[in-house]
A and B are shown apart, each in its own frame.
Chain A
Amino acid sequence: MAFFEEIASAVIAGDPAKSQELVRKALDGGAKPLDIVDQGLMAGMNVVGERFKRCDMFVPEVLMAAKAMNMGLDLVKPHLDSASRAGTGTVVIGTVKGDLHDIGKNLVAMLLESKGLNVVNLGVDVSAETFVNAVKQHSPQIVGMSALLTTTMLVMKDVIDALKEANLRDSVKVMIGGAPVTQDFATEIGADGYAPDAVTATDLAKGLLG
């Protein structure tokens, strides 16, 4: 439907006001909330992801698109039934203890939200205990950890150990990222996945959700 394409275009253009206006119109016109998300907002965001990979779009443009997507999503959310809301999944994310870097982690959070995921952002300098408590409280499918320093990346293993101790490790997938982190390191500490950048991280999260 042409109307959904317009919503997708507003997302691709990174125009939050236009995105909200069109979503509101669609809702008033009786469009199905889930269709607005899938065929409009999400369809636009998928194009953005592809363009980013081809180097046709860059991070600031992706973020504006994500903003347009999220503003639209805010209007649709109340209209979604609980079943379709539950299906989207929850991610608990944070930068590990001793590390104050959060741009990369916030980028991942924003893009995960733009994929319709429910993101619980724990911020920076997050202890293993805080991660464990958040898992208990929010029952996420995924725990995401970030570190920029070679020293703090070692804390990621402490968090995984703490999840094991609390018998929560098997209930979540763990994904990690940050400048010094590699796939080898992820394998070594027993994480389920590693992504080198925010766009890849959203693909990874969707993959982990199955």
Chain B
Amino acid sequence: MRGARVRRETMRSNYRVNATTQFKVLSCDQLSEIQSATMEVLERTGVNIFDKEALELFRKAGAKVDRNRVRIPSHLVEWALKSAPSRVVLCDRNGSRRLFLEGHNSYFGPGPTNNFTIDVFTGERRKVRKEDNRRTGILVDALPNIDFAMDLGTPSDVTATLADIHAFEALLSNTTKPITAWGFDVSGYQTIIDMCVAVAGSLEDLRQNPFVCLYSEPSSPLQHSEEAISKLLFMAGQGLPAVYTPCVMAGGTAPATMAGTLVIANSECMVGVVASQLKREGAPVIVGGVVTIMDMGSTVFSYGAPELSLLQAGLTELAHYNGLPVFGTAGCTDSKGLDQQAAIEGALSIMMAAESGANLIHDVGYSEYGSTGSQLQMVMANDIIGYVKRVIRGIRVDQNALAVNVIEAVGPGGHFLAEPHTLAHFRTETTNLDLVDRRRYDDWKARGELSMGDRVRERARQILETHKPKPLEKEARSKIDQIIQDAENRVGK
């Protein structure tokens, strides 16, 4: 047969594969230098800690404690980094292990505690209601590229001091996906964990297969409030995963330089790691945060700046270097609505976060520099994440993919549309996005000339009107209702 050739397996050495795209901001030497600077700051300048138990733990471990100022020796940081697990697995509400927060695995979800929302049905920017948290739960449950839930707003129409547990209950009731949540204080945390135990069966079962992690934030620069660190210690004590997430503003609460800002953020993360390990060796802790610039015109904490993506990537690489799971930030914007800026900032930050391999990437749907939680932004991001997933997967190169025999069979001037090889591969090699429009002009026109924004609104409404999340088991449901009622009664007294 002319041209036919059986390809025998060729002996070949030193062949390397890029199974995914490759991306790196900092070299090993640079990471080591930033880590050393971090430990120098902790040892020389130290940090302020405002929690008695934490101060005592640090003092006992050999840190130099002067009132609230704690200077941490480098060996203590190095010990804590060895003690903290390099991976945390989050489960769904049914206990199935879903999110493997390890290596360069990336998962996306919304963010927490915004004051405002944009109503999907009316377009109005208004205060958040508990119904919005329910909607967020339903959307997260339905969107295939959103992996975990956060509340996307603190509800204003419930008992103010119980807004945290109401927001959590709304999520827990409307999605089976893992939840990352926030509480005002340890008592709020305890109530949230009680609700989780009602679902899991026991604290031990929840610890074995956690579907929740709770986060707290130090106050940059280098301050750790009683609230922040007591919540962290509470979670460590329970053996449940905690996120310790500094929010650092280059030029404001950190030096204007990117490297200096990373030193501040990393220092705060290290305090969280040491504190959690002193409380309980091996306690699961996830570091990361929101590291960006203060916009020197408006003074806002920017959620759309290129520096946010760059700093997030740097902080992610530092966490990888230290062998810790990373809390990332992406899919957010400074724009006030679902416009071109929102799409640009949302898309590029998602791409950067995924390329750097942050693990638990939050704030998808943050708009208006974080003031507004936008479900529409999240629905749009679902498509963006689909796009990015395909890019990250890279280009497979092997005999089958190279398809030299298929090219020979088709020859010049032919086409590949009807080849079995095409049929076998086109669905896996290419990605179908949900809302991106590639229709021909006439077809697009006939369907009402919808913009991306129009289609996002249509999809969001359609999901909210049709998606029915799996309800909680009856027993868990009634226990959770009782927990909420008890909390209300306590406040009422």
> Which A residues have a C-beta under 8 Å from some C-beta of B?
14, 55, 58-61, 63-64, 67, 100, 102-103, 106-107, 110, 182-183, 196-197
| Cross-chain contact A60 with B440 (CB below 8 angstroms) | no
| Cross-chain contact B442 with A183 (CB below 8 angstroms) | yes
Chain A interface mostly = helix
| Cross-chain contact A58 with B426 (CB below 8 angstroms) | yes
List chain B residues, Cβ under 8 A from A196: 440-443
Closest residue of chain A to B418 (Cβ to Cβ) is A63
B75 to chain A, nearest CB (A): 60
| Cross-chain contact A64 with B418 (CB below 8 angstroms) | yes
| Cross-chain contact A60 with B423 (CB below 8 angstroms) | yes
List chain B residues, Cβ under 8 A from A107: 417
**30 A–B contact pairs at CB < 8 A?**
A14-B423, A55-B432, A58-B426, A58-B427, A59-B417, A60-B418, A60-B419, A60-B422, A60-B423, A60-B426, A61-B423, A63-B417, A63-B418, A64-B418, A64-B420, A64-B423, A67-B418, A100-B413, A102-B415, A103-B417, A106-B415, A107-B417, A110-B418, A182-B441, A182-B442, A183-B442, A196-B440, A196-B441, A196-B443, A197-B440
Complex: A64 Cα to B419 Cα, angstroms: 9
Interface string of B399-426 (1 = CB under 8 A from A): 0000000000000010101111011001
Complex: A58 Cα to B423 Cα, angstroms: 9
List chain B residues, Cβ under 8 A from A63: 417-418
The residues in B between 417 and 463 inclusive whose CB is less than 8 angstroms from any CB of A are 417-420, 422-423, 426-427, 432, 440-443
A153 to chain B, nearest CB (A): 16
Closest residue of chain B to A53 (Cβ to Cβ) is B443
A133 to chain B, nearest CB (A): 24
Interface string of B208-245 (1 = CB under 8 A from A): 00000000000000000000000000000000000000
List chain A residues, Cβ under 8 A from B442: 182-183, 196
Complex: A71 Cα to B426 Cα, angstroms: 24
Closest residue of chain A to B424 (Cβ to Cβ) is A60
List chain A residues, Cβ under 8 A from B432: 55
Best-buried of B415, B419, B427 by chain A (most CB within 10 Å): B415
List chain B residues, Cβ under 8 A from A106: 415
List chain B residues, Cβ under 8 A from A110: 418
List chain A residues, Cβ under 8 A from B415: 102-103, 106
Complex: A58 Cα to B438 Cα, angstroms: 13
Closest residue of chain B to A100 (Cβ to Cβ) is B413
Best-buried of B418, B420, B422, B442 by chain A (most CB within 10 Å): B418
List chain B residues, Cβ under 8 A from A102: 413, 415
Complex: A20 Cα to B440 Cα, angstroms: 35
A142 to chain B, nearest CB (A): 20
Closest residue of chain A to B422 (Cβ to Cβ) is A60
- 20 other contacts beyond A102-B415, A103-B415, A110-B418, with CB at 8 A cut-off? A55-B432, A60-B417, A60-B418, A60-B422, A60-B423, A60-B426, A63-B417, A63-B418, A64-B420, A67-B418, A102-B413, A103-B417, A106-B415, A107-B417, A182-B441, A183-B442, A196-B440, A196-B441, A196-B442, A196-B443
Complex: A107 Cα to B417 Cα, angstroms: 9
List chain A residues, Cβ under 8 A from B443: 196
Complex: A100 Cα to B412 Cα, angstroms: 12
Complex: A197 Cα to B441 Cα, angstroms: 11
Closest residue of chain A to B432 (Cβ to Cβ) is A55
A182 to chain B, nearest CB (A): 8
Which 5 pairs from chain A and chain B are nearest by CB? A196-B440, A63-B418, A103-B415, A60-B423, A60-B422
A188 to chain B, nearest CB (A): 16
List chain A residues, Cβ under 8 A from B417: 59-60, 63, 103, 107
List chain A residues, Cβ under 8 A from B440: 196-197
Closest residue of chain B to A64 (Cβ to Cβ) is B423
Closest residue of chain B to A66 (Cβ to Cβ) is B418
Complex: A91 Cα to B236 Cα, angstroms: 76
Complex: A100 Cα to B415 Cα, angstroms: 13
Complex: A67 Cα to B419 Cα, angstroms: 11
Closest residue of chain A to B421 (Cβ to Cβ) is A60
Complex: A24 Cα to B467 Cα, angstroms: 46
List chain A residues, Cβ under 8 A from B423: 14, 60-61, 64
Complex: A101 Cα to B415 Cα, angstroms: 11
List chain A residues, Cβ under 8 A from B419: 60
List chain A residues, Cβ under 8 A from B418: 60, 63-64, 67, 110
Complex: A102 Cα to B410 Cα, angstroms: 14
Best-buried of B417, B419, B440 by chain A (most CB within 10 Å): B417
Complex: A102 Cα to B413 Cα, angstroms: 8
Complex: A197 Cα to B426 Cα, angstroms: 19
A131 to chain B, nearest CB (A): 21
Complex: A67 Cα to B417 Cα, angstroms: 12
B424 to chain A, nearest CB (A): 9
Complex: A197 Cα to B439 Cα, angstroms: 10
List chain A residues, Cβ under 8 A from B427: 58
Complex: A149 Cα to B417 Cα, angstroms: 21
Complex: A64 Cα to B424 Cα, angstroms: 11
A29 to chain B, nearest CB (A): 30
A40 to chain B, nearest CB (A): 22
Closest residue of chain A to B440 (Cβ to Cβ) is A196
